[in-house]
Amino acid sequence: MQSGAKKILIVDDEETVGIGMSEILKDAGYGAAYVTSGAAAVDAVREQGYSLIFIDMIMPDMNGLETYRRIRQFNKDARVVLFTGYFRDAERAIFNGVKEGMIDVYIRKPFFAEEVVHTAKKYA
């Protein structure tokens, strides 16, 4: 990781997605980490601070929108991009999240590495 690299967190209940996205971002020069639940994301953001958070929309226990709302309670400047493999089911939550201040971008799974890096360059 380059010194001064922006820190990015990936939140997905599928560990392989978290590993893949974090490796893509590390290769692009970002400090990247992943967690596998909304609750772990809330803790990580509280402890580490991140310039950008990619959150999977559909997760057990706490979905992406609920995770975003919890993070916003203590970090009003959190920059969040949602991603999902189930856009139809997530459409209303994405709309509500954008209304509440999320970045007006979502990434659909499966995603391309260039798409992830481009989003990080634009918002991190």
45 within domain boundaries? yes
- Beta 80-84 vs 106-108: how paired, if at all? parallel
The CATH number given to whatever domain includes residue 80 is 3.40.50.2300
- pLDDT of 1 > 50? The answer is no
pTM, rounded to two decimals: 0.85
Q: How many domains does the chain have?
A: 1
- Integer Cα distance of 51 and 120 in angstroms: 9
- Asked whether the beta carbons of 10 and 26 are under 8 A apart, the reply is no
Residue 64 DSSP class: H
Q: Give the domain extent around 44.
A: 7-123
| Section 77-103 average pLDDT | 79
How many beta carbons lie within 10 A of that of residue 44, not counting itself? Answer: 19
Whole-number Cα distances in Å, 75 to 24, 94, 99: 26, 19, 17
| Cβ-Cβ contacts under 8 Å for 56 (sequence gap 6 or more) | 11, 12, 13, 14, 17, 64, 82, 83, 84
User: Angle CA(60)–CA(51)–CA(32) in degrees, nearest 5?
Assistant: 65
Residues 38-83 pLDDT 10s: 999 999 999 998 989 999 988 989 999 999 999 999 998 889 998 8
1 within domain boundaries? no
2 within domain boundaries? no
